[in-house]
Structure 1
Amino acid sequence: MLPDLHVHTARCGHAQGVLEDYLACARRLGLAYLGFADHLPLYWLPPEERDRGLAMPEEELPGYVEEVLSLKGRVGGVAVALGIEADYIPGFEERLRKLLSKHPFDYVLGAVHFVDGWGFDNPACLEGYAAWRVDDLYARYFELVLQAVRSGLFDVLAHPDLVKKFGYRPGTDVRGLYEEVAGAMAGASVCVEVNTAGLRVPAQEIYPSLEFLKACRRHGVPAAVGSDAHHPGHVAWAWPLAREWLLAAGYRRVVFFEERKPRFLEIT
Protein backbone atom coordinates (compact mmCIF):
# COMPACT_ATOMS: atom_id res chain seq x y z
CA MET A 1 0.00 0.00 0.00
CA LEU A 2 1.14 3.56 -0.67
CA PRO A 3 3.13 5.12 2.19
CA ASP A 4 1.52 8.04 4.05
CA LEU A 5 4.02 10.85 4.67
CA HIS A 6 1.70 13.52 6.06
CA VAL A 7 0.15 12.77 9.45
CA HIS A 8 -0.48 15.27 12.26
CA THR A 9 -1.27 14.77 15.95
CA ALA A 10 -3.04 16.70 18.68
CA ARG A 11 0.21 18.57 19.36
CA CYS A 12 -0.53 20.92 16.45
CA GLY A 13 -3.57 22.31 18.26
CA HIS A 14 -6.14 21.58 15.56
CA ALA A 15 -5.96 17.78 15.23
CA GLN A 16 -7.12 14.87 17.35
CA GLY A 17 -5.28 11.82 18.61
CA VAL A 18 -1.82 10.84 19.73
CA LEU A 19 0.87 9.06 17.73
CA GLU A 20 -0.19 5.60 18.82
CA ASP A 21 -3.75 6.20 17.55
CA TYR A 22 -2.48 6.99 14.06
CA LEU A 23 -0.05 4.09 14.13
CA ALA A 24 -2.84 1.69 15.12
CA CYS A 25 -4.86 2.81 12.09
CA ALA A 26 -1.84 2.36 9.84
CA ARG A 27 -1.41 -1.20 11.12
CA ARG A 28 -5.09 -2.05 10.51
CA LEU A 29 -4.86 -0.71 6.96
CA GLY A 30 -1.66 -2.58 6.20
CA LEU A 31 0.58 0.44 5.58
CA ALA A 32 4.28 -0.38 5.45
CA TYR A 33 5.41 3.23 6.08
CA LEU A 34 3.91 6.05 8.14
CA GLY A 35 5.49 9.49 8.37
CA PHE A 36 4.53 11.94 11.09
CA ALA A 37 4.82 15.53 9.88
CA ASP A 38 3.31 17.79 12.50
CA HIS A 39 3.41 21.57 12.13
CA LEU A 40 6.67 23.24 13.04
CA PRO A 41 6.27 26.08 15.58
CA LEU A 42 5.48 29.50 14.07
CA TYR A 43 9.15 30.43 14.15
CA TRP A 44 8.81 33.79 12.37
CA LEU A 45 6.55 35.32 15.04
CA PRO A 46 7.43 36.51 18.55
CA PRO A 47 6.48 33.77 21.06
CA GLU A 48 3.61 35.81 22.47
CA GLU A 49 2.00 36.10 19.02
CA ARG A 50 2.12 32.40 18.12
CA ASP A 51 -1.31 30.82 17.84
CA ARG A 52 -1.38 27.55 19.79
CA GLY A 53 -4.25 26.44 17.58
CA LEU A 54 -2.07 26.47 14.46
CA ALA A 55 1.14 24.78 15.59
CA MET A 56 2.88 23.42 18.66
CA PRO A 57 4.84 25.82 20.89
CA GLU A 58 8.58 25.68 20.34
CA GLU A 59 9.17 24.13 23.76
CA GLU A 60 7.12 21.09 22.65
CA LEU A 61 9.19 20.39 19.54
CA PRO A 62 11.86 18.27 21.31
CA GLY A 63 9.08 16.20 22.90
CA TYR A 64 7.48 15.59 19.51
CA VAL A 65 10.82 14.50 18.07
CA GLU A 66 11.49 12.15 20.98
CA GLU A 67 8.02 10.61 20.73
CA VAL A 68 8.37 9.82 17.05
CA LEU A 69 11.92 8.55 17.45
CA SER A 70 10.71 6.18 20.16
CA LEU A 71 8.52 4.51 17.51
CA LYS A 72 11.14 4.38 14.77
CA GLY A 73 12.08 1.15 13.14
CA ARG A 74 9.41 -1.34 12.22
CA VAL A 75 6.61 -1.27 14.78
CA GLY A 76 4.05 -3.96 14.16
CA GLY A 77 5.04 -4.06 10.49
CA VAL A 78 4.94 -0.29 10.01
CA ALA A 79 8.14 1.70 9.43
CA VAL A 80 7.75 5.02 11.27
CA ALA A 81 9.50 8.16 10.01
CA LEU A 82 10.17 11.52 11.61
CA GLY A 83 8.95 14.34 9.41
CA ILE A 84 7.89 17.93 9.95
CA GLU A 85 5.71 20.38 8.03
CA ALA A 86 7.37 23.78 7.89
CA ASP A 87 5.86 27.01 6.63
CA TYR A 88 7.84 29.04 4.15
CA ILE A 89 7.97 32.73 5.11
CA PRO A 90 10.16 35.04 2.96
CA GLY A 91 12.97 36.66 4.89
CA PHE A 92 13.09 34.02 7.62
CA GLU A 93 14.96 31.29 5.73
CA GLU A 94 18.02 31.25 8.00
CA ARG A 95 15.92 31.11 11.15
CA LEU A 96 14.08 28.12 9.70
CA ARG A 97 17.30 26.45 8.57
CA LYS A 98 18.74 26.76 12.06
CA LEU A 99 15.64 25.33 13.71
CA LEU A 100 15.45 22.38 11.34
CA SER A 101 19.15 21.58 11.80
CA LYS A 102 18.62 20.85 15.49
CA HIS A 103 16.65 17.67 14.87
CA PRO A 104 17.21 14.44 12.89
CA PHE A 105 14.25 14.69 10.52
CA ASP A 106 13.86 12.04 7.85
CA TYR A 107 12.19 14.63 5.62
CA VAL A 108 10.78 18.15 5.66
CA LEU A 109 7.51 19.09 4.00
CA GLY A 110 7.50 22.69 2.82
CA ALA A 111 4.20 24.54 2.72
CA VAL A 112 2.78 27.94 1.88
CA HIS A 113 -0.14 28.66 4.22
CA PHE A 114 0.35 32.43 4.42
CA VAL A 115 0.24 35.08 1.72
CA ASP A 116 1.76 38.29 3.03
CA GLY A 117 0.72 37.45 6.58
CA TRP A 118 -2.78 36.25 5.69
CA GLY A 119 -3.61 32.63 6.55
CA PHE A 120 -5.61 32.02 3.39
CA ASP A 121 -6.35 28.36 4.18
CA ASN A 122 -7.70 29.13 7.67
CA PRO A 123 -11.53 29.04 7.80
CA ALA A 124 -11.38 31.84 10.38
CA CYS A 125 -9.74 34.14 7.79
CA LEU A 126 -12.09 33.72 4.84
CA GLU A 127 -12.91 37.42 4.75
CA GLY A 128 -9.42 37.99 3.34
CA TYR A 129 -10.51 36.71 -0.07
CA ALA A 130 -12.58 39.85 -0.58
CA ALA A 131 -9.37 41.86 -0.86
CA TRP A 132 -8.05 39.84 -3.80
CA ARG A 133 -8.77 39.22 -7.45
CA VAL A 134 -8.51 35.45 -7.66
CA ASP A 135 -6.06 35.58 -10.57
CA ASP A 136 -3.81 37.94 -8.63
CA LEU A 137 -3.99 35.69 -5.57
CA TYR A 138 -2.91 32.67 -7.63
CA ALA A 139 -0.01 34.63 -9.09
CA ARG A 140 1.18 35.74 -5.66
CA TYR A 141 0.69 32.29 -4.13
CA PHE A 142 2.77 30.60 -6.82
CA GLU A 143 5.42 33.30 -6.52
CA LEU A 144 5.82 32.25 -2.88
CA VAL A 145 5.76 28.58 -3.84
CA LEU A 146 8.64 29.18 -6.24
CA GLN A 147 10.61 30.91 -3.51
CA ALA A 148 9.95 27.99 -1.17
CA VAL A 149 11.11 25.46 -3.76
CA ARG A 150 14.30 27.40 -4.49
CA SER A 151 15.15 27.95 -0.82
CA GLY A 152 16.82 24.55 -0.49
CA LEU A 153 15.01 23.95 2.80
CA PHE A 154 12.49 21.31 1.80
CA ASP A 155 12.37 17.74 0.54
CA VAL A 156 8.71 17.78 -0.50
CA LEU A 157 6.31 20.53 -1.54
CA ALA A 158 3.13 19.85 0.41
CA HIS A 159 -0.34 20.38 -1.13
CA PRO A 160 1.18 22.43 -3.98
CA ASP A 161 -2.03 24.17 -5.06
CA LEU A 162 -3.51 24.71 -1.60
CA VAL A 163 -4.79 28.08 -2.81
CA LYS A 164 -7.80 26.26 -4.32
CA LYS A 165 -8.90 24.93 -0.90
CA PHE A 166 -12.12 26.94 -0.60
CA GLY A 167 -13.09 26.52 -4.23
CA TYR A 168 -11.71 29.79 -5.61
CA ARG A 169 -10.54 29.07 -9.14
CA PRO A 170 -8.64 31.40 -11.49
CA GLY A 171 -10.27 32.82 -14.60
CA THR A 172 -7.05 32.58 -16.60
CA ASP A 173 -4.99 29.62 -17.75
CA VAL A 174 -2.45 28.80 -15.02
CA ARG A 175 -0.72 25.91 -16.77
CA GLY A 176 2.28 28.15 -17.31
CA LEU A 177 2.59 28.54 -13.54
CA TYR A 178 2.42 24.77 -13.13
CA GLU A 179 5.22 24.30 -15.65
CA GLU A 180 7.37 26.94 -13.99
CA VAL A 181 6.96 25.43 -10.54
CA ALA A 182 7.50 21.88 -11.81
CA GLY A 183 10.70 22.94 -13.57
CA ALA A 184 11.94 24.63 -10.42
CA MET A 185 11.14 21.55 -8.36
CA ALA A 186 13.12 19.37 -10.74
CA GLY A 187 16.05 21.75 -10.56
CA ALA A 188 15.98 21.88 -6.75
CA SER A 189 15.35 18.13 -6.23
CA VAL A 190 12.08 18.82 -4.44
CA CYS A 191 9.34 16.18 -4.61
CA VAL A 192 5.66 16.88 -5.19
CA GLU A 193 3.08 15.72 -2.67
CA VAL A 194 -0.14 14.09 -3.83
CA ASN A 195 -2.35 15.11 -0.92
CA THR A 196 -5.86 13.71 -0.56
CA ALA A 197 -7.03 16.32 1.97
CA GLY A 198 -8.37 18.37 -0.94
CA LEU A 199 -11.19 15.85 -1.16
CA ARG A 200 -12.29 16.76 2.39
CA VAL A 201 -12.67 20.50 1.73
CA PRO A 202 -14.67 22.66 -0.74
CA ALA A 203 -12.04 22.21 -3.47
CA GLN A 204 -13.20 18.58 -3.80
CA GLU A 205 -10.01 17.72 -5.63
CA ILE A 206 -6.72 16.12 -4.72
CA TYR A 207 -3.75 18.48 -4.38
CA PRO A 208 -2.27 19.10 -6.90
CA SER A 209 -4.63 19.16 -9.88
CA LEU A 210 -4.04 16.47 -12.47
CA GLU A 211 -2.65 19.05 -14.93
CA PHE A 212 -0.16 20.22 -12.30
CA LEU A 213 0.81 16.65 -11.45
CA LYS A 214 1.31 15.83 -15.12
CA ALA A 215 3.64 18.83 -15.41
CA CYS A 216 5.64 17.46 -12.48
CA ARG A 217 5.86 14.09 -14.17
CA ARG A 218 7.06 15.64 -17.43
CA HIS A 219 9.86 17.36 -15.53
CA GLY A 220 10.85 14.16 -13.70
CA VAL A 221 9.74 15.32 -10.25
CA PRO A 222 9.28 12.38 -7.83
CA ALA A 223 5.91 12.09 -6.10
CA ALA A 224 5.17 11.49 -2.42
CA VAL A 225 1.73 10.76 -0.98
CA GLY A 226 0.09 12.24 2.09
CA SER A 227 -3.34 12.14 3.69
CA ASP A 228 -2.75 15.30 5.75
CA ALA A 229 -4.45 13.36 8.54
CA HIS A 230 -5.76 15.44 11.43
CA HIS A 231 -7.72 12.52 12.85
CA PRO A 232 -6.67 8.86 13.06
CA GLY A 233 -9.49 7.98 10.68
CA HIS A 234 -7.86 10.14 7.99
CA VAL A 235 -4.78 7.91 7.64
CA ALA A 236 -4.48 6.75 4.01
CA TRP A 237 -7.63 8.74 3.21
CA ALA A 238 -8.95 7.98 -0.31
CA TRP A 239 -5.84 5.98 -1.17
CA PRO A 240 -7.46 4.27 -4.20
CA LEU A 241 -8.16 7.73 -5.68
CA ALA A 242 -4.58 8.83 -4.94
CA ARG A 243 -3.32 5.77 -6.77
CA GLU A 244 -5.55 6.55 -9.78
CA TRP A 245 -4.34 10.19 -9.78
CA LEU A 246 -0.71 9.09 -9.79
CA LEU A 247 -1.18 6.54 -12.55
CA ALA A 248 -3.19 9.00 -14.66
CA ALA A 249 -0.28 11.44 -14.45
CA GLY A 250 2.18 8.74 -15.53
CA TYR A 251 3.76 7.85 -12.19
CA ARG A 252 4.72 4.24 -11.52
CA ARG A 253 6.52 4.68 -8.19
CA VAL A 254 6.38 6.96 -5.16
CA VAL A 255 9.01 8.29 -2.80
CA PHE A 256 9.59 7.99 0.93
CA PHE A 257 12.58 9.06 3.00
CA GLU A 258 15.23 7.87 5.42
CA GLU A 259 17.53 10.52 6.93
CA ARG A 260 16.69 13.06 4.18
CA LYS A 261 17.50 10.48 1.49
CA PRO A 262 14.77 9.48 -0.97
CA ARG A 263 13.77 5.85 -1.39
CA PHE A 264 11.29 4.54 -3.93
CA LEU A 265 8.36 2.15 -3.87
CA GLU A 266 6.59 0.76 -6.91
CA ILE A 267 2.88 1.53 -7.20
CA THR A 268 1.00 -1.77 -7.21
Structure 2
Amino acid sequence: MKIDLHNHTSLCNHAEGSVDEYVAAAVAAGIDVFGFSDHAPMDFDPKYRMKFEEMEQYHGMVMDAREKYEGKIDILFGYEVDYLEGHMDTRVLSADVDYLIGSVHFLDEWGFDNPEFIGQYEHEDIDVIWERYFEQVEAMAKSGLFDIVGHLDLIKVFKFMPKRDIVSIASPALDAVAAAGMTMEINVAGYRKPVAEAYPSPDLLRAAFERGIPVTFGSDAHTPGQIGLFRDEAEALARETGYTECVYFRNRKPYSVAL
Protein backbone atom coordinates (compact mmCIF):
# COMPACT_ATOMS: atom_id res chain seq x y z
CA MET A 1 0.00 0.00 0.00
CA LYS A 2 1.31 3.46 -0.90
CA ILE A 3 0.80 6.12 1.74
CA ASP A 4 1.63 9.83 1.45
CA LEU A 5 0.60 11.95 4.44
CA HIS A 6 2.56 15.21 4.14
CA ASN A 7 1.18 17.55 1.48
CA HIS A 8 0.20 21.20 1.33
CA THR A 9 -2.35 23.48 -0.30
CA SER A 10 -2.28 27.00 -1.66
CA LEU A 11 -3.69 28.27 1.64
CA CYS A 12 -0.18 28.22 3.12
CA ASN A 13 0.83 31.01 0.68
CA HIS A 14 3.90 29.18 -0.63
CA ALA A 15 2.29 26.24 -2.43
CA GLU A 16 0.58 26.11 -5.80
CA GLY A 17 -2.27 24.11 -7.31
CA SER A 18 -5.82 23.14 -6.43
CA VAL A 19 -6.86 20.31 -4.15
CA ASP A 20 -8.25 18.50 -7.20
CA GLU A 21 -4.87 18.77 -8.93
CA TYR A 22 -3.07 17.31 -5.92
CA VAL A 23 -5.50 14.42 -5.67
CA ALA A 24 -5.34 13.72 -9.40
CA ALA A 25 -1.55 13.59 -9.17
CA ALA A 26 -1.78 11.21 -6.23
CA VAL A 27 -4.15 8.91 -8.11
CA ALA A 28 -1.81 8.95 -11.12
CA ALA A 29 1.12 8.06 -8.83
CA GLY A 30 -0.72 5.01 -7.52
CA ILE A 31 -1.07 6.35 -3.99
CA ASP A 32 -3.73 4.58 -1.93
CA VAL A 33 -3.89 6.86 1.12
CA PHE A 34 -3.23 10.56 0.60
CA GLY A 35 -3.14 13.14 3.38
CA PHE A 36 -3.31 16.90 3.35
CA SER A 37 -1.33 18.39 6.24
CA ASP A 38 -1.00 22.06 5.46
CA HIS A 39 0.89 24.52 7.65
CA ALA A 40 -1.30 25.23 10.66
CA PRO A 41 -2.04 28.82 11.60
CA MET A 42 -0.26 30.45 14.53
CA ASP A 43 0.51 33.95 15.73
CA PHE A 44 4.01 33.91 14.23
CA ASP A 45 5.40 33.88 10.68
CA PRO A 46 1.97 34.44 9.06
CA LYS A 47 3.50 34.80 5.60
CA TYR A 48 3.99 31.03 5.32
CA ARG A 49 0.75 29.58 6.71
CA MET A 50 -3.01 29.79 6.55
CA LYS A 51 -4.97 32.17 8.73
CA PHE A 52 -7.08 30.98 11.65
CA GLU A 53 -10.19 32.11 9.81
CA GLU A 54 -9.23 29.82 6.90
CA MET A 55 -9.27 26.62 8.98
CA GLU A 56 -12.93 25.97 8.20
CA GLN A 57 -12.30 26.51 4.49
CA TYR A 58 -9.35 24.13 4.58
CA HIS A 59 -11.40 21.46 6.34
CA GLY A 60 -14.21 21.85 3.81
CA MET A 61 -11.85 21.57 0.84
CA VAL A 62 -10.41 18.32 2.10
CA MET A 63 -13.77 16.84 3.11
CA ASP A 64 -15.19 17.67 -0.31
CA ALA A 65 -12.26 15.88 -1.92
CA ARG A 66 -12.73 12.88 0.38
CA GLU A 67 -16.33 12.53 -0.78
CA LYS A 68 -15.60 13.30 -4.43
CA TYR A 69 -12.82 10.73 -4.79
CA GLU A 70 -14.25 8.00 -2.56
CA GLY A 71 -13.47 4.63 -4.08
CA LYS A 72 -10.50 5.98 -6.03
CA ILE A 73 -8.25 7.12 -3.19
CA ASP A 74 -8.54 7.53 0.59
CA ILE A 75 -8.16 11.20 1.60
CA LEU A 76 -7.02 12.10 5.12
CA PHE A 77 -7.02 15.43 6.93
CA GLY A 78 -4.30 16.85 9.13
CA TYR A 79 -2.05 19.76 9.94
CA GLU A 80 1.68 20.29 10.03
CA VAL A 81 2.19 22.18 13.28
CA ASP A 82 5.28 24.19 14.13
CA TYR A 83 6.58 23.27 17.54
CA LEU A 84 7.37 26.74 18.87
CA GLU A 85 6.85 27.44 22.55
CA GLY A 86 4.31 30.15 23.22
CA HIS A 87 2.87 30.12 19.72
CA MET A 88 0.96 26.82 19.40
CA ASP A 89 -2.82 27.24 19.56
CA THR A 90 -5.50 25.01 21.03
CA ARG A 91 -7.73 25.68 18.02
CA VAL A 92 -5.23 23.63 16.03
CA LEU A 93 -4.14 21.17 18.69
CA SER A 94 -7.75 20.21 19.50
CA ALA A 95 -9.00 20.21 15.90
CA ASP A 96 -10.90 17.22 14.53
CA VAL A 97 -8.12 15.69 12.44
CA ASP A 98 -6.81 12.32 11.37
CA TYR A 99 -3.29 13.25 12.50
CA LEU A 100 -0.97 16.08 13.46
CA ILE A 101 2.60 16.33 12.20
CA GLY A 102 4.93 18.04 14.66
CA SER A 103 7.79 19.89 12.99
CA VAL A 104 10.63 22.17 14.05
CA HIS A 105 11.25 25.01 11.61
CA PHE A 106 12.49 27.64 14.05
CA LEU A 107 15.30 28.06 16.55
CA ASP A 108 13.99 30.86 18.71
CA GLU A 109 12.62 33.05 15.91
CA TRP A 110 15.15 32.07 13.23
CA GLY A 111 13.58 30.17 10.33
CA PHE A 112 16.69 28.12 9.69
CA ASP A 113 15.29 26.25 6.66
CA ASN A 114 14.14 29.40 4.87
CA PRO A 115 16.56 30.53 2.14
CA GLU A 116 15.73 34.13 3.04
CA PHE A 117 17.62 33.68 6.31
CA ILE A 118 20.48 31.39 5.25
CA GLY A 119 23.02 34.12 6.05
CA GLN A 120 22.50 33.49 9.77
CA TYR A 121 24.51 30.26 9.50
CA GLU A 122 27.68 32.34 9.05
CA HIS A 123 27.28 33.58 12.62
CA GLU A 124 26.52 30.25 14.27
CA ASP A 125 28.46 27.27 15.60
CA ILE A 126 27.07 24.44 13.46
CA ASP A 127 27.49 21.79 16.16
CA VAL A 128 25.58 23.97 18.62
CA ILE A 129 22.85 24.62 16.05
CA TRP A 130 22.37 20.88 15.50
CA GLU A 131 22.26 20.27 19.26
CA ARG A 132 19.68 23.02 19.75
CA TYR A 133 17.59 21.71 16.88
CA PHE A 134 17.40 18.17 18.24
CA GLU A 135 16.66 19.50 21.72
CA GLN A 136 13.57 21.07 20.18
CA VAL A 137 12.64 17.82 18.44
CA GLU A 138 13.01 16.06 21.79
CA ALA A 139 10.78 18.61 23.50
CA MET A 140 8.24 18.30 20.70
CA ALA A 141 8.08 14.52 21.18
CA LYS A 142 7.81 14.83 24.96
CA SER A 143 4.89 17.26 24.60
CA GLY A 144 2.65 14.35 23.57
CA LEU A 145 0.76 16.61 21.19
CA PHE A 146 1.61 15.02 17.86
CA ASP A 147 1.30 11.77 15.94
CA ILE A 148 4.12 12.10 13.41
CA VAL A 149 7.53 13.72 13.64
CA GLY A 150 8.10 15.76 10.51
CA HIS A 151 11.37 15.71 8.55
CA LEU A 152 13.46 14.55 11.51
CA ASP A 153 16.78 16.08 10.46
CA LEU A 154 15.55 19.19 8.62
CA ILE A 155 18.51 21.12 10.06
CA LYS A 156 20.69 19.55 7.34
CA VAL A 157 18.67 21.19 4.54
CA PHE A 158 21.48 23.49 3.34
CA LYS A 159 24.18 20.87 3.98
CA PHE A 160 25.79 22.64 6.94
CA MET A 161 26.91 19.48 8.70
CA PRO A 162 28.28 19.13 12.25
CA LYS A 163 31.67 17.76 13.24
CA ARG A 164 30.09 15.63 15.97
CA ASP A 165 28.50 12.27 15.23
CA ILE A 166 24.96 12.97 14.08
CA VAL A 167 23.38 9.87 15.61
CA SER A 168 24.81 10.77 19.01
CA ILE A 169 23.41 14.29 18.71
CA ALA A 170 19.98 12.98 17.74
CA SER A 171 19.79 10.02 20.13
CA PRO A 172 17.92 11.77 22.98
CA ALA A 173 15.35 13.04 20.48
CA LEU A 174 14.96 9.57 18.95
CA ASP A 175 14.53 8.10 22.44
CA ALA A 176 11.79 10.65 23.12
CA VAL A 177 10.04 9.88 19.81
CA ALA A 178 10.08 6.17 20.65
CA ALA A 179 8.84 6.75 24.21
CA ALA A 180 6.00 8.92 22.92
CA GLY A 181 4.87 6.20 20.51
CA MET A 182 5.19 8.58 17.58
CA THR A 183 5.60 7.64 13.94
CA MET A 184 8.42 9.15 11.88
CA GLU A 185 7.97 10.16 8.28
CA ILE A 186 10.39 9.44 5.48
CA ASN A 187 10.12 12.81 3.81
CA VAL A 188 11.46 13.10 0.26
CA ALA A 189 11.60 16.92 0.13
CA GLY A 190 15.29 16.69 1.04
CA TYR A 191 16.00 15.27 -2.41
CA ARG A 192 14.80 18.61 -3.80
CA LYS A 193 17.09 20.62 -1.51
CA PRO A 194 20.87 21.21 -1.38
CA VAL A 195 21.37 18.24 0.95
CA ALA A 196 19.96 15.96 -1.79
CA GLU A 197 18.78 13.13 0.44
CA ALA A 198 15.65 12.14 2.30
CA TYR A 199 14.80 13.15 5.85
CA PRO A 200 15.99 11.29 7.83
CA SER A 201 19.41 10.14 6.68
CA PRO A 202 20.08 6.39 6.40
CA ASP A 203 22.03 6.42 9.67
CA LEU A 204 19.20 8.11 11.57
CA LEU A 205 16.63 5.83 9.99
CA ARG A 206 18.60 2.81 11.18
CA ALA A 207 18.72 4.32 14.66
CA ALA A 208 14.95 4.80 14.53
CA PHE A 209 14.42 1.22 13.38
CA GLU A 210 16.54 -0.07 16.27
CA ARG A 211 14.22 1.80 18.64
CA GLY A 212 11.07 0.35 17.07
CA ILE A 213 9.88 3.69 15.70
CA PRO A 214 7.36 3.08 12.89
CA VAL A 215 7.49 5.02 9.63
CA THR A 216 5.18 6.67 7.18
CA PHE A 217 5.87 8.56 3.95
CA GLY A 218 5.47 12.17 2.82
CA SER A 219 6.07 13.94 -0.46
CA ASP A 220 5.92 17.29 1.37
CA ALA A 221 4.48 18.50 -1.92
CA HIS A 222 4.02 22.21 -2.53
CA THR A 223 3.01 21.64 -6.15
CA PRO A 224 1.04 18.73 -7.66
CA GLY A 225 4.08 17.79 -9.73
CA GLN A 226 6.04 16.95 -6.57
CA ILE A 227 3.64 14.20 -5.50
CA GLY A 228 5.22 10.77 -5.80
CA LEU A 229 8.66 12.08 -6.72
CA PHE A 230 11.45 9.93 -5.24
CA ARG A 231 8.89 7.46 -3.95
CA ASP A 232 10.95 4.49 -5.15
CA GLU A 233 14.02 5.82 -3.34
CA ALA A 234 12.07 6.33 -0.12
CA GLU A 235 10.58 2.84 -0.18
CA ALA A 236 13.97 1.31 -0.98
CA LEU A 237 15.49 3.18 1.96
CA ALA A 238 12.79 1.81 4.28
CA ARG A 239 13.19 -1.75 3.07
CA GLU A 240 16.98 -1.66 3.20
CA THR A 241 16.73 -0.49 6.80
CA GLY A 242 14.48 -3.42 7.68
CA TYR A 243 11.01 -1.91 7.60
CA THR A 244 8.25 -4.10 6.20
CA GLU A 245 5.28 -1.94 7.26
CA CYS A 246 4.24 1.70 7.23
CA VAL A 247 1.60 3.65 9.13
CA TYR A 248 -1.34 5.90 8.41
CA PHE A 249 -3.78 7.52 10.83
CA ARG A 250 -7.51 7.88 11.05
CA ASN A 251 -9.03 9.94 13.87
CA ARG A 252 -5.60 10.01 15.58
CA LYS A 253 -5.41 6.20 15.61
CA PRO A 254 -2.45 4.50 13.83
CA TYR A 255 -2.92 1.65 11.38
CA SER A 256 -0.02 -0.43 10.08
CA VAL A 257 -0.03 -1.86 6.57
CA ALA A 258 2.53 -3.76 4.51
CA LEU A 259 4.90 -1.73 2.38
TM-score, length basis structure 2 = 0.96
Moved over 4 A (4+): none
Where in structure 2 are the equivalents of 1:78-227 lying within 5 Å? 78-92=73-87, 95-101=88-94, 103-227=95-219
Where in structure 2 are the equivalents of 1:62-77 lying within 5 Å? 62-72=56-66, 75-77=70-72
> Any conservation in 1 of the 2:40–2:92 contact (CA below 8 Å)?
no
In the aligned structure 1, how far is the partner of 2:215 from the partner of 2:124?
Answer: 31
Deviations 1:104-149 (A, max 9, x none): 1100000000001000001111111122111010000001110111
How many residue pairs match? The answer is 258
Q: Which amino acid aligns with 1:220?
A: G
In the aligned structure 1, how far is the partner of 2:81 from the partner of 2:215?
Answer: 18
> Any conservation in 2 of the 1:27–1:76 contact (CA below 8 Å)?
no
> Any conservation in 1 of the 2:138–2:174 contact (CA below 8 Å)?
no
- Quick one: structure 1 residues 76 and 26, their matched pair in 2 at CA, closer, same or farther if it must change by over 3 Å? farther
In the aligned structure 1, how far is the partner of 2:187 from the partner of 2:57?
Answer: 26
TM-score, length basis structure 1 = 0.93
SS in 2 for 1:224: strand
Deviations 1:80-104 (A, max 9, x none): 0001100001244xx5344321x31
Equivalent of 1:61 in 55, 58, 66: 55
The alignment yields a C-alpha RMSD, in angstroms, of: 1.3
The sequence identity of aligned pairs, in percent, is 37
In the aligned structure 1, how far is the partner of 2:169 from the partner of 2:157?
Answer: 17
Q: Name stretches of at least 5 consecutive residues in structure 2 with no aligned partner.
A: none
- Quick one: structure 1 residues 76 and 21, their matched pair in 2 at CA, closer, same or farther if it must change by over 3 Å? farther
In the aligned structure 1, how far is the partner of 2:197 from the partner of 2:17?
Answer: 25
In the aligned structure 2, how far is the partner of 1:14 from the partner of 1:252?
Answer: 34
Deviations 1:167-208 (A, max 9, x none): 111111121233222211111011111000000000101000
